[in-house]
Chain A
Amino acid sequence: MVLEVKGLRFAYRGELKFVLDGIEMKLNDGEILVLLGPNGCGKTTLLKCINRLLKPIEGAVLVEDRNLIEMNERDIAKTIAYVPQHQKLPFPYKVLEFVLLGRAPHIGLFSAPRARDYEIAIEALKLLGIENLADRFYTELSGGERQLVLIARALASEAKILLLDEPTAHLDFKNTHRVLGTLRKIIKERGLSAIITLHDPNLAQRYGDKVAVVQNGRIFKYGLPKEIIDSELIKIVYGIEAFVLNFDNLRVVVPK
């Protein structure tokens, strides 16, 4: 187990309602955990509490017996890399310059990236098969390419745990599968672990090792996708009737 969330509670300032109310969750070594749940259920808030972009009111996030809540920003960033949904850059950075920013946790205020940092950034681009983009402007790339570049930036930080917030929210069908497929391959090859929030149960069972369903600020269900994703769950969580069809090894959720 690489990461454990214990009794996590969070509320936004000045609000009485807990957005997260006693989250208990585990992420095992080399595993992809998908967070599923309807809009506004607290998935993104949970991700942000894990790497302390938001400060939980109660609870602990343990990584190898160290409590992240008490670590400083730099050490957290060296342990966990965060991939945002998308980045609207106000300035035209080259892809390589952009990926280099992932080295920030390793570089002090008065320092700049050295040759070794460039090597690591280029290595990250190669891993994702997009080293040909290095000299292009990030602002000129397509949605799918941008998402891969954001993942490359996370890899460049050399953190062992990745958090991805709806990485396919803005992508078309092909790019959705390209990004998630590449991501899964790299996580498995490099022995990383990841927590990904997704909207689509089909993507969750295809690319996730485990699924945690978030509802009303709690983990409602947790387990292997084929064990927990069924018509009943879809009915309870999303409020719609659905078939779960089986073809050979493939399970597909289709609304009635």
Chain B
Amino acid sequence: MIESQMSSLSSYKIFKGFLAFLILFLPVPLVLVSVGVGYLKIPPGEVLKVVQSKLTGEVSEDLKTYEAVIFNIRLPRILLAFLVGATLAVSGAVMQSMFRNPLVEPYILGISSGAAFGASLALGLGITFLTGVQTLAFVFGISSIFLAYVMAKTRGEVPVVNLVLAGIIVTALFSALTSLIKFFVDPHNLAAIVYWIMGSFSHAKWDQLLAVTPMILFPLLLIFAMGWRLNVLSLGEEEAKALGVKVNRDQLVFLSLATFSTSSAVSVSGIIGWVGLLVPHIVRLAFSSDNRVMMPLCASLGGSFMVLADNIARTAFSFELPISVLTTILGAPVFMFLVRRRARRVWS
């Protein structure tokens, strides 16, 4: 009896391991298929041919059009979508562990509304030179979290409850300021602001991708390397401290990394909801709460989910859908299914 249980247990573990492996390598075929999807359809075989000839250095004349579409238009967009999805999912998981709450989004401390205000300011004032929209969105995204942190700090300590309350205040403040801008700008700029806030990858270019990649990738790699410490922090301030952790220092480290990468992502994509909430949930329920396991899987699955949503956003209709609308429409039912199915067993 026990032996049969043991063997079924281990085969279950092998199955899970295999599934994790699949998820980690999912982005490769997904990207190859995605570059072929769009107004000009490119069959996977042709995509492989283009990639192959690109690698060997010579692209024949009949593949030139495909090459241009794949490498100049679609690939930067798909890679950017992947990076943004990955960082939102990982930052979500980080924030959830830090705040000991599985319902926390990476935007909890006001990044999204700060970024929205920055972008609105740029669009409203017509500051479009030197990628003004991205820069201001990034700067205000980061500022919002520092504002929240400074507000929350009392006598050298930063209690989590204070931080959440400060986040609510900062979010409200920047939302009000954004509304003020929307109220005063002319309708043309208003449309641009509304469109930016709903999120899109339609302006993705290589230079933008190259600028933002290190800003997203370095924080993510550091977070990966410190995954186990995040497990300790998720026990709560007092217990983590009793286990010898410098809680306030470590919280600041994780907050800074997650904020920096999220602000970078938001500055190029606009505000995209649900990914940071949904993906960590799926990974936690299907695999493990251990952040060492979670982080790479969140990155891979979050990125893939975003690429998929963007594929739909750019191909489903003759016009582009705002991607945030799609991530929510796709995410909400999945989330509901997960919560109903597993919540009772897992959360006491």
Contacts and interface: CB of A to CB of B under 8 A. Distances in A.
Contacts of A135: 9
Contacts of A74: 244
A130 B253 CA distance: 36
A113 B289 CA distance: 16
B73 to A, nearest CB: 40
A174 interface: no
B205 interface: no
A91 interface: yes
A89 B227 CA distance: 17
Contacts of A73: 241, 244-246
A151 to B, nearest CB: 14
Given A78-B244, A97-B290, A91 B232 contact: no
A92 B289 contact: yes
A94 to B, nearest CB: 8
Contact of B245 (A94, A102, A104): A104
Interface residues of B, number: 37
Interface of B: 9, 96-97, 100-102, 155, 225-229, 231-232, 234-236, 238-246, 250, 253, 284, 288-290, 292, 345-348
Interface residues of A, number: 35
Contacts of A137: 346
B226 A105 contact: no
Interface in A74-129: 74-78, 81-82, 84, 87, 89-94, 97, 101-102, 104-105, 107, 109-113
A157 B243 contact: yes
Contacts of B345: 140
Interface string A43-63: 000000001010000000000
B254 to A, nearest CB: 10
Given A53-B238, A87-B235, A97-B231, 7 more contacts: A53-B242, A74-B244, A89-B235, A92-B284, A93-B289, A104-B240, A139-B346
Contact of A101 (B155, B231, B346): B231
28 contacts: A13-B155, A51-B242, A53-B242, A73-B246, A81-B242, A84-B238, A87-B235, A87-B239, A89-B234, A90-B96, A90-B234, A91-B234, A92-B289, A92-B346, A92-B347, A94-B288, A97-B289, A97-B290, A101-B243, A104-B244, A105-B243, A107-B228, A109-B229, A112-B228, A113-B228, A139-B348, A140-B348, A157-B243
Given A91-B97, A109-B250, A101 B235 contact: yes
Nearest to A108: B229
B242 A93 contact: no
